[in-house]
C-alpha cells in the first residue's frame, strides 16, 4: 500500500521504563503516524500503562482511554480494528442492524465491549454474554446477529443459532487436528444461517484493512489534511 512500517521486536527482558521510553520517542517522530503494541506483553510489563503512553492521535488500535471514551460518545476518530471490520462487512452486505436482536459473546476491551457499542450506535438491541451468563444457549438462539468472540474452539453449535441469523465468527482457534478454526462450528451452522464468516479469511482480513484505514486517517489528522 506504500506505507512505511518500523518493527521494534524487543527482548523479553525489556523493562517498563525502556518500553515507555520507546513509545515516548515514537510519539515525537513526525514521520510515524500510527503506533500499536502487540499484546499480550510479558507479565512483568504493565500493558495498560504502555497503551496510555501512546498519543491518542497515533493510537491506531483505538485502545487509549481517550479514544475509548470517544467511541462511547459516538464522536470518534478511530475505531478498534476488529469491531470496525465487522461493521464494514455488515454494511457491505446491506445487513441492517437497526431494531435487530444482537448478541455479542465475549466482553473484552478489544472486541466484545466496542463491538456491542458499535451495534448500539446503529440502533441494535444488544446483549453481551460472558462466562457468568445464564441460559447462554437460549439467549444466542434469539439473536438476529450473533458475534462470537469467546476464544473457544467450535463453541457455538447449531442449536445455539436462530434460523436465518447472521453469524460473525471473531475467534481464531485450532481444532483437534491443529487446523485453524473459529468459535463457531462452521460446518454444522452454515446451512442454518443467512450469512456466516469463515475462519480463516473472514474477519481477519477486515481487521488488517481497518488498521490501514486508521493509519491513513491518523496521518491526515496529524498533517491537517482533514
pLDDT in tens, 117-127: 999 999 999 99
Cβ neighbours of residue 203 closer than 8 Å, sequence gap 6 or more: 82, 85, 86, 89, 168, 169, 170, 197
Question: How big is the CA angle at 94 (ends 89 and 100), to the nearest 5 degrees?
Answer: 90
Percent of the chain scoring above 70 in pLDDT: 100
In the predicted structure, residue 106 carries a pLDDT above the cut 90 = yes
| pLDDT recorded at residue 160 | 97
CATH 3.40.47.10 correct for 81-204:
no
Q: What value does the mean pLDDT take over residues 100-110?
A: 96
- Where does the chain have alpha helices with state H? 16-28, 47-53, 65-73, 81-92, 112-121, 136-140, 186-189, 203-222
Cα–Cα dist 58/78, whole Å: 10
Cell of 196: 456466516
| pLDDT recorded at residue 158 | 97
Cβ neighbours of residue 77 closer than 8 Å, sequence gap 6 or more: 56, 57, 67, 70, 217, 218, 221
Cell of 189: 451452522
Report which of 7, 10, 20 is spatially closest to residue 55, judged by C-alpha positions.
20
> What would the pLDDT profile of 183-203 be if each residue is shown by its tens digit?
999 999 999 999 999 999 999
Task: Count CB atoms within 10 A of the CB of residue 93.
Answer: 10
| pLDDT recorded at residue 174 | 87
Phi, psi of 103 (to 5 degrees): -120, 125
User: Residue 133: pLDDT band by 50, 70, 90 thresholds?
Assistant: very high
Phi-psi region of 62 (alpha: psi -120 to 50; beta: other; left: phi over 0): left
**Mean residue pLDDT across the chain:** 96
Please give the torsion angle defined by the CA atoms of residues 86, 91, 94 and 95, in that order, rounded to the nearest 10 degrees: 40
Q: What value does the mean pLDDT take over residues 84-113?
A: 97
Cα–Cα dist 129/111, whole Å: 13
> What would the pLDDT profile of 56-78 be if each residue is shown by its tens digit?
999 999 999 999 999 999 999 99
User: Residue 226: pLDDT band by 50, 70, 90 thresholds?
Assistant: confident
Domain boundaries, the chain: 81-204
Task: Count CB atoms within 10 A of the CB of residue 47.
Answer: 15
**Residue 179 to residues 100, 155, 174, Cα–Cα distance (Å):** 33, 15, 5
Does this model's pTM top 0.75? My answer is yes
| pLDDT recorded at residue 202 | 96
In the predicted structure, residue 157 carries a pLDDT above the cut 90 = yes
Cα–Cα dist 128/147, whole Å: 10
User: Residue 175: pLDDT band by 50, 70, 90 thresholds?
Assistant: confident
| pLDDT recorded at residue 72 | 93
Report which of 83, 96, 198 is spatially closest to residue 149, judged by C-alpha positions.
83
Amino acid at each position: 500500500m506504500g506505507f512505511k512500517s518500523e518493527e521494534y521486536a524487543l527482548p523479553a527482558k525489556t523493562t517498563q521504563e525502556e518500553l515507555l521510553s520507546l513509545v515516548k520517542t515514537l510519539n515525537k517522530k513526525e514521520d510515524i503516524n500510527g503506533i500499536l503494541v502487540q499484546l499480550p506483553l510479558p507479565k512483568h510489563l504493565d500493558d495498560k500503562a504502555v497503551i496510555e503512553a501512546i498519543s491518542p492521535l497515533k493510537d491506531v488500535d483505538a485502545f487509549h482511554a481517550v479514544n475509548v471514551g470517544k467511541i462511547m460518545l459516538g464522536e470518534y476518530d478511530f475505531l478498534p480494528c476488529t469491531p470496525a471490520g465487522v461493521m464494514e462487512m455488515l454494511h457491505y452486505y446491506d445487513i441492517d442492524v437497526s431494531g435487530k436482536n444482537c448478541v455479542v459473546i465475549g466482553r473484552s476491551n478489544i472486541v466484545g465491549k466496542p463491538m456491542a457499542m458499535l451495534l448500539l450506535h446503529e440502533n441494535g438491541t444488544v446483549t453481551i454474554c460472558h462466562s457468568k451468563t445464564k441460559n447462554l444457549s437460549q439467549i444466542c438462539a434469539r439473536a438476529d446477529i450473533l458475534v462470537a468472540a469467546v476464544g473457544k474452539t467450535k463453541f457455538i453449535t447449531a442449536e445455539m443459532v436462530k434460523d436465518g441469523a447472521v453469524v460473525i465468527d471473531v475467534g481464531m482457534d485450532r481444532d483437534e487436528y491443529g487446523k485453524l478454526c473459529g468459535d463457531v462450528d462452521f460446518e454444522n451452522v452454515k446451512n442454518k444461517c443467512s450469512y456466516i464468516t469463515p475462519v480463516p479469511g473472514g474477519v481477519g482480513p477486515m481487521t488488517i484493512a481497518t488498521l490501514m484505514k486508521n493509519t491513513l486517517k491518523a496521518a491526515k489528522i496529524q498533517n491537517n489534511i482533514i
